[in-house]
Chain A
Amino acid sequence: MATALRQLRPQAAPRPTGAWLRWVPALTLGLFLAPVGAGLIGTWLPAFGYFPALGGTEIGLAPWRALFDYPGLGTSVWLSLCSGVLATAVSMGLTIGFVAACHNTSVFARLRRLLAPLLAVPHLAIAVGLSFLIAPSGWILRLVSPWATGWQIPPDVALVQDPYGLALTLALVVKETPFLLLMTIAALDQARAGDRLAVARSLGYGPVTAWLKTVLPAIYPQIRLPIYAVLAYSLSVVDMAIFLAPQTPPPLAILVFRWFNDPDLAMRFVGAAGAVLQLALVMAAICVWRLAEWGADWQGRRWLTAGGRGGAGWLSCRIAGSAMTGLYGIAAASLLGLALWSVARRWPYPEALPVSWTLDNWVRQAYGLWWAGGTTLLTGIAAAAVALALTLGCLENEQRRGLTTSGRGLWLLYAPLLVPQVGFLFGVQVLLVRLDFDGTWIALIWSHLLFVLPYVFLSLADSYRRLDPRYARAALCLGASPNRVFWRVKLPMLIRPVLFAAAVGFAVSVAQYLPTLFAGAGRFATLTTEAVALAGGADRRVLGVYAFLQALLPLLAFAAVLAWPSRRHRASAPPAGAAL
């Protein structure tokens, strides 16, 4: 055998063509990780007093003292923690409970098909719509007043911006559960959940117990990073919190955001310290969550091996199915409320519907809508296109070189999603100002790319890697060059997942609030920034117009993907978990 081995003279592998491709992953990482790193450093330095532009040249703890002396800081931190952790726990529980109890049912299939539009709707539109829905003067109370409640005027209770942040938590659950559901469904396909379930069922386990005991342990590692991303987002969200969280004191992220925009420039130091605290809060929450996972794992093992078979699970299916349907219902009602307000002329309390209708709200806002909508559209298309090109380059490079991705690569991809936006965007802004680059289109699109790219990559990677490699081999052996194989075989076969990824990227870009402000230097108004700017004004009709259009653009993008002709694409892999 030893001689046999020696006789195996390795030959030089055929040189892959397209040498420039090998630089795409490095370019991608540089484009989107370098700003995060630079942004963090640019935030940390002022937090410790170093910010020469504002006369801070001495390293010290003065910003921290000012931060901790700030009245109500403790309440702000507590509020962030409560709403963030609760929203993540409920979203995860709902997702896992629903998939465990309802897999292979018609409810599951139906809700899965409706997942794409729910994912498309931006966070802010849900927040505004929800505030229209559950406020004391909101749609729900109008529907039951006065005949059930007897209220002729809105009751004086804080149903939105409530002191416990429950309205914010609810909105986060409505928006984050679909994301976790999508990631879970994608993981199911990879874990061959069907085989595992079949084995467990044949051993006498009930469907829900079988799923929890054999499928969940296999897929949890794959949904761990998405859960951490949800946790980081929920702990540090700004745009939703402006509408739904209490404002005196507000959650920490809003406090930090206010300090960064304070007319008193000295507050930038306090803001930077607050941003570091926000980052520490997120990291600590992730660490505690990880510890809880270990605890659950230890407990779960005993439960797993104890042999309990569980029941038929029809009741849990009924409950989980209703809860998830209710969640979809809230999202749909929120959107419908936005649409109604945008065409209402008069809608006095407690009427269930507007008493007179008009398109004037749209016509009067036409100029602002045209500019903000155009900026939103251009930025979204550009960011999605760049992200798609980089993603395809990385995936194609990976396949031509036969590379496999490591877990570490995935962590890098998730980095911008795990670091709170207020934790590093100030540093990015400082960097852009120094480079005399702030307020340019490139800076705007680049700042969106940081958050668009991970989602585009995540939605395309599975489909791309799962395409049967023999199609490409067959084409190569027919004499097609690797580039021709890419353009003529892979792209056409994967056209729907590719378009789906582009739509995801567009939707993510439309939803961005802080990056637009920080990198755009206030020069760019998008539908999102305009809607937030209207938060104090309280004219629901104008707000309804902006928020509805903000939701409409991504929905149209997804509708366009769905409408794409599908003849002769039946063999291409559908995007992971997508309802196409």
Chain B
Amino acid sequence: MGRPAVGVCGALVALFLVDAAVFRTGLYPAMLDPESTAGRVEMMRYVEMRRARSKAAQALAFGDSRMGFLPGVATAATVGRGVEFTSVAVPGTSPRSWYYQLRDLDPDARRYAAIILPVDDYDDEDRAEDPADSVVDMNYAIARLRLADLIDFTRSFPAWRERWVVLRGLIIKGTVYKDDLQGFLLAPDARRRKVRLFHDDSANWYRNFEADSRDVQGLSVDWSNWTLTPPPGATPAQEKVLRDVLLRRAVPQTGRLAEYRRQWFGRIIDRYRGGATRVFIFRLPRGPVPRPEWLVHRRSSSIREMAARPNVVLLDERCFEALERPSLFMDPLHMNRKGMDEFSRMLGEAVAGRSSHAF
């Protein structure tokens, strides 16, 4: 191609350099919308890195929106046990993005005495979507991803279409940040003020977070007839969500979730192999009305396999079963204020209880 080839190569290099100057240096990530996917992760990181730590052993919790964990409640419930809880749970995140979050939060794997990871179930139940194909993981982790992750992160997506999107996003980060950037261009001053406000106050907001106090009392499911009785006063939209979540049909079990969990939980555990940090894994309260286990024939339990590793502590599977009540949930997936308080206290005690000899 001669001259055009030189021009194209030059253009690609220039594009990469400009993109890197803006998006890889922290110049733009500092201006991310704190309520966007990447922005939430970055804000949690900001808060966590600036948190004044006590001398107590630090226990860091990950999770998505279902992780109704209030670190303040857990710490208060375990006063005198020498553990301080903290959380970087962000709605929508998954083990893959947790790994990259953790890698930058704790670069030399010595900052935390305990890493707390929630799972839906110890057995592997494949759902309709393959978690490995979730491109949104890149959006959450984008500010934490480096060029060195290019091959590894891209290969973690099985489908070629997703691989292409991820590869493009990792090389030219602007393609991932573009929606956020367009929002920024719409009102740059408002964004700057919002970021400043979140920087100043979000630590307080997270600490004093009060969840919704609604519940779903009256909800029941007749599993033999596959019928659901919604709580009184439920709107059609709420009823639909309840049905979609609780009465979802099982899909063929292929083992892809097990593979995904082995990879990403495995990596988190491997980071702390040989160190003093313990990785706690537990089953989240499954919902206001747990689905019976016989609905799906689960073929494996990748989580139980991990319990054999020396630095892994698997909490009793039934530890939080008492919380699986309509009075403690605000919808089919998320705990309400009371449920979160109770759950945080119980999780704190469970971790601190195991920590007296583990830490």
A and B held together in a complex: no
Chain A residues engaging chain B, CB cutoff 8 angstroms: none
Chain B residues engaging chain A, CB cutoff 8 angstroms: none
